[in-house]
Amino acid sequence: MKVLLIGSGGREHALAWKLSRSPSLAQLHCAPGNPGIARHARCHPVRAEDPEGLLALALDLAVDLVVIGPEAPLVAGIADALRRNGVPTFGPSAAAAAIEGSKMFAKDVMRAAGVPTAETMPSAQAPCVIKADGLAAGKGVFVCRTQEELDAALPTAAALGQPLVIEELLEGREVSIFALCDGARVIPLAPAQDFKRAFDDDAGPNTGGMGSYAPAPDVDVHELVDAIHGPVLAELARRGSPFIGVLFAGLMLTENGPHVLEFNCRFGDPETQSLMPLLDDTLLHALAACATGDARSVDLRWSDDAAVTVAVAAASYPAAGDVGSPIAGVEQAEATGAYVFHAGTALHENTLVTNGGRILGVTATGATITAARERAYEAASLVSFDGARYRTDVAREAAALV
């Protein structure tokens, strides 16, 4: 099977690594890719935001499957263009991807499906959560527990230039629940948790994610998928927009049961970097089955191990990234047995350099979360570039629980 993977981040590197291990893979291509992905796939200089270029590339390569990583091309309708031209595609249509592209649309779907979610508020009063309605690269959510936080958040949120959704602040434990969907069926992945805030102890602004671990303990993923993903999938199909791809629910496990914080229409980043090392080598079969609308034969198998991912970021992230700083220590980190997934890297005169906000995701596995966490931090400490930083508390509480 010839596969084209779209994207250039750490999520796509993890997917490329896993897809490259499939016994049914003949060729793996990626657009545009990154230096890490280039170890597993042939990379093509076509941007993920270039639908015409991606369609031309898929047709020229005569691929059997396109896998779309980022949300922006999905919301823009790249999956529709590919399917119209006969290219099997793992990723939702623009109409179905609106579950992430518009918080207001997602609220409407959840109300119709009877899925619990945070209540909207008529005005901004602390405590509350302010969200940009559309895509914001994980940086459009502002948790405001105090009036001071609210006063700081409002102008920043307004500067995004989008309608705003104001919600009640839910308290509890967050968990990320992913399900592969063929339009009618849902196949759950292992539960994960990510760490959105920039600094230790959940301080600072929201980011795309500073780390993750899997599996999240004491989570009945099948029960959650039946209660949340199933009804939403059915409602989207009822509206004539069947969802084919990954339906990702960010949940808050409250005293009153699970509530949806948000839906995403793609694999999570950095959760994917924690999930892929725990999954067997049948991912390609699963994605292809979903893309053709019949996932009844899919049987995912998971390791009994745990995985922890630590994002190594630029000094000023998320306010700004870093470009052109030489990166050292990747080979040493990999020599420990860890996986180093490239998120914001480039090659300059054969030297690996920074090229973004989150630069690398360092993932390690172990028999327990504690063991995986120790190995991940040991490996992350070996990576260096000017201003490199990472949170030191990823999975700390989970490790203490088990």
pLDDT of residue 402: 66
pLDDT of residue 399: 85
- 330 burial via Cβ count (<10 Å: 0-12, 13-18, 19+): buried
Q: What is the pLDDT along the chain (402 residues), one digit of tens a residue?
A: 999 999 999 999 999 999 999 999 999 999 999 999 999 999 999 999 999 999 999 999 999 999 999 999 999 999 999 999 999 999 999 999 999 999 999 999 999 999 999 999 998 999 999 999 988 877 788 999 999 999 999 999 999 999 999 999 999 999 999 999 999 999 999 999 999 999 999 999 889 999 999 999 999 999 999 999 999 999 999 999 999 999 999 999 999 999 999 999 999 999 999 999 999 999 999 999 999 999 999 999 999 999 999 999 999 999 999 999 999 999 999 999 999 999 999 999 999 999 999 999 999 999 999 999 999 999 999 999 999 999 999 999 988 876
> pTM for the complete prediction?
0.95
**Distance of alpha carbon 289 from alpha carbon 90, whole angstroms:** 9
Sign of CA dihedral 309, 8, 301, 294: positive
- H helix and E strand count, the chain: 14, 22
For residue 195, give the DSSP letter: -
Beta strands in 154-271 (DSSP E): 164-167, 173-182, 186-188, 193-194, 197-199, 203-206, 211-214, 244-254, 257-264
Beta strands in 116-183 (DSSP E): 128-132, 141-144, 164-167, 173-182
Give the three-state DSSP class for 263. Answer: strand
The two structure tokens encoding residue 238: 């009822």
Distance of CA 393 to the CA centre of its chain: 20
The two structure tokens encoding residue 239: 């509206």
**Distance of alpha carbon 47 from alpha carbon 57, whole angstroms:** 11
In angstroms, what CA-CA distances link 278 with 120, 127, 304? 37, 38, 8
Task: Give yes or no for a contact between 204 and 196, defined as CB atoms under 8 angstroms apart.
Answer: no
The two structure tokens encoding residue 286: 């699963």
How many CB atoms sit inside 10 A of residue 209's CB?
Answer: 25
